[in-house]
Structure 1
Amino acid sequence: MAMPVLRRIIAVSVTAVVVASLAWAAPAMAGPSVTAAPSAPAAPAVSTVTTGSSILTAPTDCANLPARAATLARTSGPGTATCVRENGRAAPTRSTSERAGVMSTPCGSNSWIATRTTICGEESFQLVVFTVPQGVIVGTIDYGVRVEVMLSGRSDRWDTYVRFTGYRGAGAIAGTTLNAVPLCGQMCSYLSSPGITTLFGPGSVVPGAASFSSQYGGPYVSWQSSASWQFTFSNPAWTPPISNSLSITPPAHRCDDALPGRPVGCTVAFVEPTHTISSLAHPTYARHIGLALNFGLPSRLTRTTDGTRNESNRRIACTDPQGRPRPAGFSCDEYPFASTYEGAASHAYGRTFFILGGINGGGQGFSCQVPWLQPRRQGDSGGYSACMIPDWENTDAGSLLGLFYYDNRVIDRDMFRIRLV
């Protein structure tokens, strides 16, 4: 999937007036028989989208300013001009403060970092003011830009947040103003989109926010949506009084109307979500899944929303050819899940678990009470698994799996992972 990144569009022009160096004087701005041991709770799956040395696609250096200034002088005469370059240091990756008006998310420096429902990128840059035709630097502002996108699997609305932080500055920068506006990109409609116009310099922390919705792409399909922030710096002492335009465009996310019985929602499709199963909340269910995984059944599965295939998976895994009665209070659980392409219908055989206690009766035995399938033996990592587990566990675990699919927009043929804790 093509993923757009931060882009810079350079368009500098100048008119006559030479600006002398000014000091910054303005105030600061504001084993197989046992399950795996429990581990720490899972953090959200994170994917890094590397975009090279800068999260901006266009070159950002201000090299050979005399030559650039001389060229500008021939077309526009003397004055001042601006350019942007990388700051030479990574932007701070501290948690976003309430003052900035945005949420704390995993955020990358020189790259985008994404979870299933967030995208975040941050980097430091320097705005350079230089004279034309001399090419002498007369002012600089070191600043950072952080952009976040917040999505919901239950809604086609998404929110974007931006934060501009002024770190240092000197020279001809007094009276500099930051101007920023949110822009719709692919399959996008505005909900709220206030722009930013404010004085900016060392010590400034300027937040911005905008809300969008995805234009509807149709039933049972998915589509890409995106939005961006475009900004400039301006100063009446510069000629021209406005800098080049910068455009920040996070990677596009996916919206869909592809979950039967659910409304439209949006997620980051290139991040595989992880479904966490708790051995404390659902001990028998987790024991079955843990044994299946320990014997080599896959922990990475593929969702299917085909109701006919789901029913076939359940029927094959949980039908006793002899029709024997089920244990009271128990129901049949299958792994891989019936809602996956790896379910029972894709296998030639199935197995169950019957584990005796250890030597002299010690250890923890386990019986799945599935007499129509052979117990799985060491080295057998094929087929599917079936096990009787308490009704309440089966019902509860199934509901949680359904909510996981919903919140993470796990649609047909999406991959996801299983983790036990």
Structure 2
Amino acid sequence: MPALAAAALLTGAAVQPAVSATPTRDERPIPASAPASASTSVDKERLDTSGKRSGPTGEDCADAAARARRAGGVKRAYGCLTRLSPAEGKAALRAAAASAGSASGVLAAPLPVNECTGDEDGYWYATRTMQCQIDPNVQYTYFDSNNQVKATALFATAQQLDLKVNSLQWTETDQITMLSHTGTLPAGLGVSWTTNCTAPCAPSSTKPWARTPIADSQNLKSTSTFVAQRPTSGYQYIDVDYQLSIGSPDAIDLLPPITWGGVEVRCDDQYAVTNTGGCVVPWYTPTLKLPRSEYGSSADMIEWAQHNLSGHWGLRGTGQPLHRLQGDSQRRANRNIICGNTKFTPDPNVQSDSCDEFPFAGTYETGALNGITHGKDCAQVTAVSAGTSGDLAVDWPTVTTVGTVTGSEKCVRGHIPAALNSDLGSTYGGFVVSARLGDNDPFWLSITF
């Protein structure tokens, strides 16, 4: 059968240096110069529920004004801070650009900028160590004592949290920009913003702005530092939420502040990764990228399995994520079931042949935990020689099947040159550290070129 590559296609917490996870057969020691491919994906993932934020609307403002009048009348000017729907926000942005004389629809005051630039829709986005949002849907409306609209102002908020996998300290940068306004706003219009984080976060509350004046086209920006109190065991989950009000001493605030959440930070100390503490965004699923140019037939074996076996392990869009298995003894037992000395016979036709298996013994998807008692019951493949350049990834780039494959096998076992097998294992070990994967944490796996 031909090669199958194309066929498949915390107060006072000290920061400690990062070190590798405890070496095992499936998370092999990381070389002094770890492969550059030991990376998490830089692609952001969206938290789909976060764009549906609740907040006062224009209808809430009208109802509040009516109640005030019935209670004795609004004797002086008042203001309402509301959240627009995404459609209303887009319409307001277009109107603001048009009022600024921009035929291209570009605002005179640009939206605030962070890692969510290009995704200014009010949703939270994240990588493993970053979470951000840009929300252009905040509006302030100013009424006189006769209930007539005197002015409006459109605002955008932006936030970005930057975490570290080897530190219990992180920063958050908050921004608010007045994108445009109509009419004459009340004197002393100012912003009040409070950030709250649950224990064990310190400080538990910060106030980047307290009635800080803001004017048309102005951007306010503030960076705060937070620390997780050193976890004693397991994980600590920290929720962060926000409160925003905009108003003036010359206008009654008819509505409560806008509030929102959607931020969760997970910290641990020597739990997910030995000898270091760190924090991640727990709902983000990172991607381990393995290039063929470095791992040759070892990478091809994985891609073949992802596309040709029913498990599709780690194949985003088709299969389910893989999940790290952290226990050393269990990993060794899994490895022995698939590749033990009495269960695998090296092939003299494969250079420095070694037993390579997928899903990894260091994942919960390993065949050894899913009904396989001997590696012979996995699908069998062997590396195919393509030359003698001295570059193993080039000389042994692909695999071909051995015997009959049904497609329903729960694993694949391959005859793969030892260096390719070992280097790929080291990269998985580096990925565990760079993504701070804990026990049962999910991850995707992508074979690249």
TM-score, normalised to structure 1's length? 0.75
The answer to whether the aligner puts 1:411 opposite 2:411 as a matched pair is no
Q: By how many angstroms is 1:264 displaced?
A: 2.4
> Do the aligned partners of 2:164 and 2:279 also contact (CA within 8 Å) in 1?
yes
Task: Look up the match of 1:20.
Answer: none
Aligned to 2:75: 78
Q: CA deviation at 1:80?
A: 2.0
Counterpart-to-counterpart distance in 1, 2:130 and 2:113: 16
What whole-Å deviation, never above 9, does each CA across 1:236-287 have from its counterpart, x for those lacking one? 43357x9843334333232234325142222222222221110012213212
Corresponding residue to 2:4 among 34, 53, 76:
34
Q: How does 1:354-365 map to 2 (within 5 A)?
A: 354=382
* 1:290 Cα deviation after fit: 2.1
Confirm whether residue 267 of structure 1 aligns to residue 295 of structure 2. no
- Give 1:306 deviation, angstroms: 1.3
Shift of 1:353: 1.0
The structure-2 alpha-carbon separation of the partners of 1:357 and 1:148, relative to structure 1 and needing over 3 Å to count, comes to closer
Aligned partner (choices 316, 326, 334) of residue 313 of structure 1: 334
- Do the aligned residues in 2 keep the contact of 1:105 with 1:118 (CA within 8 Å)? no
Unmatched tracts of structure 1, length 5 or more: 1-30, 359-363
Correspondence 1:304 to 2:325: yes
1:401 aligns with 2:428: yes
Distance 1:116 1:32 in 2: 39
Query: After the TM superposition, which residues 120-135 of structure 1 pair with which residues of structure 2 at under 5 Å, given as runs?
Result: 120-123=132-135, 124-132=137-145, 134-135=146-147
Q: More relative contact order in 1 or in 2 (CA 8 Å, sep 6+)?
A: 2
Local SS of the residue matching 2:293:
coil
Return 343-352 or 309-318, whichever deviates more.
343-352
- Where 2:48 maps in the other structure, the secondary structure is strand
2:89 aligned counterpart, secondary structure: coil
Equivalents in 2 of 1:353, 1:366: separation in Å? Answer: 13
Q: Is the 8 A contact 1:330 1:389 kept in 2?
A: yes
Count the aligned residue pairs. Answer: 373
Inter-partner Cα distance in structure 2 for 1:409 and 1:311: 21
Q: 1:87-166 residue pairs with structure 2 within 5 A?
A: 87=84, 88-90=88-90, 102-104=114-116, 107=119, 109-123=121-135, 124-132=137-145, 134-166=146-178
Q: CA deviation at 1:75?
A: 5.9
Counterpart AA for 2:238: S
Which amino acid in 1 is paired with 2:290? I
Deviations 1:328-358 (A, max 9, x none): 6454322111111122422242342147899
Distance 1:411 1:77 in 2: 57
Q: In the aligned structure 2, how far is the partner of 1:356 from the partner of 1:183?
A: 58
CA contact (8 A) 1:45 1:274 kept: no
Partner of 1:279: 292
Structure 1 vs Structure 2 CA RMSD: 3.9
Aligned-partner SS, 2:165: coil
Amino acid at match of 2:410: G
Q: Does 1:47 align with 2:46?
A: yes
* Matches of 1:233 and 1:375, distance apart in 2: 69
User: Aligned partners of 2:81 and 2:328: how far apart in 1?
Assistant: 55
Cα offset, 1:209, TM superposition? 1.6
Q: Counterpart of 2:328 in structure 1: which amino acid?
A: G
Q: Is the 8 A contact 2:157 2:177 kept in 1?
A: yes
TM-score of the aligned structures, taking structure 2 as reference length = 0.70
Identity of aligned residues (%): 21
> C-alpha deviations, 1:168-225, integer Å up to 9, x for none?
1122334322233433334311399572354312211221221212233432x12211
Shifted more, 160-169 versus 172-181: the winner is: 172-181
Q: Is residue 338 of structure 1 aligned with residue 361 of structure 2?
A: yes
How far, CA to CA, are the matches of 2:227 and 2:110 in structure 1? 24
1:419 aligns to what SS in structure 2? strand
Q: Closer, same or farther in 2 for the Cα pair 1:386/1:325, shift >3 Å?
A: closer
Match among 375, 380, 385 for residue 352 of structure 1: 380
2:214 partner letter: F
Deviating more after overlay: 309-318 vs 195-204: 195-204
Gaps of 5+ in 2: 10-38, 94-105, 315-320, 387-394
